[in-house]
Chain A
Amino acid sequence: MTDATTENAPNFFVRRETLPQEAAPLSVAGPIAWVRSNLFNGPLNTILTLLCAYVVVTALPEILRFYFIDAVWTGTNRDACLADKIGRPVGACWAYVADRYQYFIYGSYPVSERWRVNIVFAMFAIGVIWLLWNNAPLKKLGAFFFFVLLPITAFILLLGGPRATGLLHFLVWITLALAVFYTVLSFVPSLARFYTGPALLAVEEAAPPWKRFYRPKRLILMSLVAFGIIAMLENSIGLPRVDTGLWGGMMVTFLVAAVGIVFSLPLGVLLALGRRSKLPIIQLLSVIFIEFVRGVPLITVLFMANTMLPLFVPQEYSPDRLLRPLIGVALFAAAYMAEVIRGGLQAIPKGQYEGAMSLGLGYWQMMRLIILPQALRIVIPGIVNTFIGLFKDTTLVTIVGIFDFLRTIEATLVDPTWATPTTRGTGYAFAAIFYFLCCWGMSRYSISVEKRLAAGQRR
């Protein structure tokens, strides 16, 4: 009623609804304003913008032309990539990468045995995804898979070799027997009772540590590990042996990186705990190790592993040529990891330690259940950064004569089959893409973890 009357009322000029907002003038919003405020505000910025634009405009088409438009994609030897042979300007010689990619991945690993490498690669990929994917189920199992099962399987599959004999053989069977015995015990409690007596089972918690292994879960893990070690020593699968001198390419790069990652983390935790320990000798030894390793270049550590390690052990146990740099890399990475983890340990407030102690937890329980889970979570970005550094440093094993990915590229560059003026640029570009994708992927992951952790801290 009233509405109608007001609507029809004459000379009623009061506006009844708010107007839609005016668009901002073009000088303060929209692309033109953005360009003006971000690219051309002031003479200095204008000059810089024009300079940069010039560089981009001249360089980008050149790069595109070299790597895509003029590139050669197919061919079987150097003739495909020579300008005077095919009668047009030649850019990158991708045919060379296509021809040699098997060598880049496997090195000189025998063609008929490469399926073994593929299995390890697949397991590695599964392990990585399992551990990195946020909501993956059974993370603990994943960690076990990656840190225990994968190394053992990789060792057995990649190396192969004849059965062990003599004392080793005997030891292997003893371990196997023990593992089976423990497994049976864990599944048949009455047997265990017969073996230990019911009182001991009942007060298992009060028992000294070495008698606490009668828990089925732990037993299964133990027996698995024992079985793995057995299989590793015995190598009973009977695959033909592939000498480490034939290993090469991405396989070795990933191997060095994975060994560094798998061993540096636990070693780093131990060293960091040692450095913060109140026991003077342990602290001193940890500090000496960490500061010594961090004070010298990786190359000297690799040289040391390569030339001095064989001197330090009896001649007959002289370590394999590939094993030496692996030990060097693992120890080197462990020292850096220790410093990262120490940062995390220092960031945990004292109340956490005191709370744990007031609950009656011992040192290792306190560390395992209260401190380390928090400390490691804080330093995940730092840990990933150490991994990135480690991944880049794997290239240095070249210097002690290991055929890693970069070395296989260098090796193909001197091969006359593909000797063209543009092969080198192509090979380096391919290597750059590989390393960039791996390192950049890792750094993206660490940034996303950082963000997720920061979200938890926000209130």
Chain B
Amino acid sequence: MSTLSTEPARPGKASLFYDPKIRGYVYQLLLLAVVVFVIYEAATNAIDNLRAQKIASGFGFWNNAAGFDVNQKLIPFSASGSTYGQAFWVGLLNTLLVSAIGIVLSTFLGFFIGVARLSHNWIVSKIAMVYVEVVRNLPLLLQLFFWYNAVLKPLPDARNSIQLPGNIFLNNRGLITPNPIFGPGFSMVLLALFIGIIAAVGFYLWSKRQQEATGKQYPNGLIATALVIGLPLLVFVLVGRPLSFDLPQQGRFNLTGGLQIFPEFVALLIGLTTYTAAFIAEVVRAGILAVSRGQSEAAHALGLRPGPTLKLVVIPQAMRVIIPPLTSNYLNLTKNSSLAVVIGYPDLVQVFMGTVLNQTGQAVEMVSITMAVYLTISLVTSFFMNIYNKRMALVER
């Protein structure tokens, strides 16, 4: 006590146990070790088990003959001459087909219902609300069962098909519509459509720059319509209408000809569309409500009429809120299309993870490939979403 130390107190050296940096390293190494150990164990066990069960591994199955048939196929496929690899593409294309159509339809239905929920018309908004609440709170699987087993299956058989206008027949084997047969010059029409779309986009960009530079406005919608629809139509007539229809004929026992749309596809499409539309409706409603009233009032004060107000002020701002959850709903729809397996629609999961897996028993390969496909789809989508979000982010001071 008599002598006071003049040395400045040095910070005590903490023991290594309490050094956060070292602790961090230790924790990470431990975790890594555990993960590596688990993976190693799983891999060695899998190899042992596969050997014990005499299951081949590797991707050699890809070129083996499939030996099963698929009812709906967008590319040629047959039980005798096709391989598992082709079965994969059949399944993938079917998944993409039902997802693409479902996305388009559910967007329209969803926007319609979302706007209806905000309608001042009491009965319209209440019906929209009931729709959204009921559909969102029921499992999709139940809805698919309902559409497939309770609505489409009890339809009359082929002999007593319901005839709809336009030579369309409806029975328990699906929807039979006229089958378009494309003549020799039809590729010209497609080319014209392609050129029309490019020209319309080009014109839109040009007119936008013109408007920003001079203030002059062009009838964008009209010209785009003319380019996208008019040009192909013109070419279609010029090359001599290379399109005919194979009409379904009502025979004694069956319908012959026509294009058969399978009930599995219809049920899945209706189920996915109505289910996703309910979620999209909520997204749209939230997006529109997110634009404050002051925005439209200010637009009115500037002399914009209701139409341009909606187009130029409200929708661009609402879209900023709507688009990210909208894409995640699109992804959900694509992932939910895998429920096809319960009603037998030959999508990727049903064909590849179901039939091919059962035949080959190579679970690891099938599950990895299928997961990789879905993972690729969602990672690519979220990559583009991130770019979009960066571009759309509010630029603040």
Contact = CB atoms under 8 A, between A and B. Distances in A.
Interface of A: 37-39, 41, 45, 48-49, 52-53, 55-56, 208, 278-282, 285, 291-292, 294-300, 303-304, 307-308, 310-315, 388, 392-396, 398-399, 406, 410, 413, 421, 424-425, 428, 431-432, 435-436, 439-440, 443
B101 interface: no
Contacts of B24: 278-279
9 closest A-B pairs by CB: A307-B363, A312-B42, A439-B137, A297-B335, A295-B378, A392-B139, A297-B338, A281-B28, A38-B122
Interface in B123-158: 123-124, 127, 133-134, 136-142, 145-146, 149-150, 154
A297 B349 contact: yes
Contacts of B42: 311-313
B50 A311 contact: yes
Contacts of A394: 139
A291 B376 CA distance: 11
Contacts of B370: 300, 303
Contacts of B123: 39, 48-49, 52-53, 56
B150 A428 contact: yes
Interface string B310-343: 0000000000000000000000000110110110
Contacts of A208: 17
B371 A45 contact: no
A12 B54 CA distance: 114
Contacts of B145: 406, 410, 428
Interface in B34-76: 35, 41-42, 45-46, 48-50, 52
Nearest to A391: B139
B28 A282 contact: yes
B7 to A, nearest CB: 26
25 contacts: A39-B123, A41-B120, A45-B120, A45-B124, A48-B124, A49-B123, A55-B127, A56-B127, A278-B24, A279-B27, A285-B35, A292-B371, A295-B377, A296-B375, A299-B338, A303-B363, A307-B363, A310-B49, A314-B48, A396-B141, A421-B154, A435-B139, A435-B142, A436-B134, A440-B133
B80 interface: no
B121 A281 contact: no
A303 B374 contact: no
B141 A406 contact: yes
Given A39-B121, A297-B349, A440-B137, A315 B142 contact: no
Contacts of B339: 299, 396
A280 B341 CA distance: 39
Contacts of A304: 367, 371
B364 interface: yes
Contact of B45 (A278, A300, A314): A314
Contacts of B374: 295-297, 300
B122 A312 contact: no
B336 to A, nearest CB: 7
A297 B142 contact: no
B31 interface: yes
Contacts of A393: 139
A395, A413, A435 pick with most chain B CB within 10 angstroms? A395
Nearest to A55: B127
A133 to B, nearest CB: 22
Contacts of A310: 49
B49, B142, B336, B357 pick with most chain A CB within 10 angstroms? B142
A273 to B, nearest CB: 12
A299 B349 contact: yes
Contact of B46 (A281, A312, A410): A312
B364 A311 contact: yes
Contacts of A45: 120-121, 124
Contacts of B146: 428
B49 A436 contact: no
B353 interface: yes
Contacts of A291: 379
A300 B120 contact: no
B32 interface: yes
A291 B383 CA distance: 12
B120 to A, nearest CB: 6
Given A49-B121, A300-B349, A393-B139, 7 more contacts: A292-B375, A300-B353, A303-B349, A311-B49, A312-B41, A312-B45, A396-B339
A432 B138 contact: yes
B335 A296 contact: yes
Interface in B5-38: 17, 24, 27-28, 31-32, 35
A300 B223 CA distance: 47
B142 A424 contact: no
A311 B378 contact: no
A456 B125 CA distance: 31
Contacts of B133: 440
Contact of A307 (B120, B121, B149, B367): B367
Contacts of A395: 139, 141-142
Contact of A315 (B49, B127, B371): B49
A217 to B, nearest CB: 26
Nearest to A49: B123
Contacts of B35: 285
A282 B45 contact: no
B124 A49 contact: yes
